[in-house]
Structure 1
């Protein structure tokens, strides 16, 4: 076996390269995974563009993945074995803060996410503690790499407590927003998609969104009010991370609405704060995902396999993954999801478009 592997590294904002690193060996309680697919996340794009305040450089990105267990350290449960197909829960919580004690580890005060605060998985191999391994036997490796980003959207919808028949606006229908669209539709909601990109709005339409609002050409608040007979949506989920969408969510919300923020912005946001009180709205945050969210997405993809074909923009080998990031940064509205394929893995029938 070779002693070194290929990896993608963001060296500094605007600088990304294909590098070689030593192949890690699993320690006690750890499992080594040979990667098959890794998806680029919006946080990876933000890191490359210098917009991610949580990342330090240099950093190997990547936390949306599928792979195969290829080595196991000591003290790993017998339920995990070499050859199993898996994904990884990429959030590492401290176990002692208030959120962890409340059994909400995704909101851990000291959380470290792969590819952000700690090294990611955009390499041929990665080692993680066995309790972060999630076996996935029912999906193709390609579709398995979509579980984590869709789970973030599914978690936000759980936070929103959506009821059948409610009108839900999703501000920003990149990958996380599309997860919100799918989860809201699963709850029986009437979904309005809002984005600056006509291409992304078309994907949301194909996935089931009923109305589309192009923020590049339309007044978002006026359009949302018009689509709801002047009431405004009863649930608004913000997944764009823009000061404008943060404000639009409150301005367009109906009386007694729930507003859920999934994105975040580095700059201050000014609100008309009287609307918080006069509308008696609920403001909620949503962070990451849980194991249950991973399970819900897995079941959804089992039942709706055509979703992946609609969502995935392109699949490239690791040798050109740096160029793919630069391409995405140059035209972010044209790309929803890039998957990186590794090594000599041969896609199965239907595994790639």
Structure 2
């Protein structure tokens, strides 16, 4: 392919985090993609809760971030194609697994790109978290008629609620925010429980399940208490699925309880990029087929220049907050 005819002019606009809780917007020259890459003119990028620890400035974090850094939920249109890329063309609308997507453009290896069909035209599609939800759901092994407790109803918990309910499971949603529980009910949860008192929740789930507790319990918070609660709500020979992002140190578990009940514990996080891409492709199919409808969950939208507000909203979670998008 002769790339000399492809667009080069223009500027790359990107967010940089120079210090905890601060952003700068920078502009640099816009290069062509390397061999095997495509360049994506981004329509937007989802804001991930995993950004919040770097945003707070832990000791291990290095500032300033690279331009666009931390953004990994981008989607948009290919506007340049590198040497040797086949099957992808300029103008194609795609989601991609990239890592500098708080920007006007990002670059992706051709095998880290997922085409978006015409049915999704003009729909925001942060592919990485949707792919995570599909991969977690697959590892939950949820069947019709099973009882599933989901602890933590943020974006991920809401998606898993919908996937489980549409697969025929009875879903018990547990969250500290009443507004999030209302979302869970709209996504198909049969019961909704406020996450306020450990023992009260256990007793309520025990009554709802005639003393059997739950076939599957998904922990989607990333804190110690939800892990403790999840084990208590898992029935004998049930499955506890860890979907929460635990990034603030070690955890303790009640190994006696885990042993006694003989539960299976699944860490549903992935690191293989190919698995992420498979999940993103599965998410596209699930949306097209009607098994997944994430669009009502995109509650807050910000321009790139307000990335700091988007991150703060993701941290503080105002009343109706579920998911923030940075849109270009």
| Deviation for aligned residue 1:51 | 6.6
Name 1:110's counterpart in structure 2. none
Partner Cα separation in structure 1 for residue 57 and residue 264 of structure 2: 32
Name 1:36's counterpart in structure 2. 43
Q: Deviations over 1:77-119 (max 9, x none)?
A: 1x111000001134xxxxxxxxxxxxxxxxxxxxxxx2xxxxx
1:58 matched to 2:40? no
Partner Cα separation in structure 2 for residue 22 and residue 170 of structure 1: 46
Q: Which of 271, 275, 279 is the aligned partner of 2:261?
A: 279
Partner Cα separation in structure 2 for residue 121 and residue 160 of structure 1: 30
Q: Deviations over 1:193-248 (max 9, x none)?
A: 11111121111111111111111367332322222112111101111001000111
After TM superposition, the structure 1 stretch with the greater mean CA deviation from structure 2, 181-190 or 195-204, is 181-190
Partner Cα separation in structure 2 for residue 315 and residue 336 of structure 1: 11
1:209 matched to 2:166? no
Task: Give the gaps of 5 or more residues in structure 2.
Answer: 1-7
| Deviation for aligned residue 1:52 | 11
Name 1:173's counterpart in structure 2. 153
Q: Which of 65, 73, 80 is the aligned partner of 2:88?
A: 80
| Deviation for aligned residue 1:182 | 2.2
Task: Give the gaps of 5 or more residues in structure 1.
Answer: 91-113, 115-119, 343-353
Indicate the RMSD between aligned Cα atoms, in angstroms. 2.4
Name 1:123's counterpart in structure 2. 103
Q: Which of 328, 334, 350 is the aligned partner of 2:314?
A: 328
Partner Cα separation in structure 2 for residue 185 and residue 296 of structure 1: 17
Partner Cα separation in structure 1 for residue 58 and residue 145 of structure 2: 37
Partner Cα separation in structure 1 for residue 278 and residue 119 of structure 2: 17
After TM superposition, the structure 1 stretch with the greater mean CA deviation from structure 2, 193-202 or 262-271, is 262-271
**1:206–1:310 CA contact under 8 A, matched in 2:** no
Q: How does 1:170-319 map to 2 (within 5 A)?
A: 170-216=150-196, 219-265=200-246, 266-288=248-270, 290-304=276-290, 307-319=293-305
Partner Cα separation in structure 1 for residue 134 and residue 42 of structure 2: 24
After TM superposition, the structure 1 stretch with the greater mean CA deviation from structure 2, 273-282 or 145-154, is 145-154
Name 1:11's counterpart in structure 2. 18
